[in-house]
Amino acid sequence: MSITKKTHDHEFIRAWAEDRGGVPAIIRIPEYYTGTVLRIDFGNLTEDVDEITWEQFFDVFESDALDFIYQEEEGDEEDSLVFKFVDRDYY
């Protein structure tokens, strides 16, 4: 059974992602959209996704006041890749 947890600890988020082969990324969005969409990429970058540095990633993460919701393990006790970013003030 997997448990969903929440954090905004930068070192934990980076370690969680890197332990699973993930890299920080950002989704290129149309010019008319004013937001920034973060992503942790696990080796399937597409042409609309760019890898960024962890520093750039956490600059956006903090300016958008996000939390990281994640699972440690899947049902078969393998490392889970399930995560999402949510508004820190909302959840």
- Note the pLDDT tens digit of each residue in 63-77: 999 999 998 876 566
Most confident listed range (27-31, 39-43, 70-74): 39-43
| Across 12-29, average pLDDT | 93
Residues 6+ apart with CB under 8 A from 14: 54
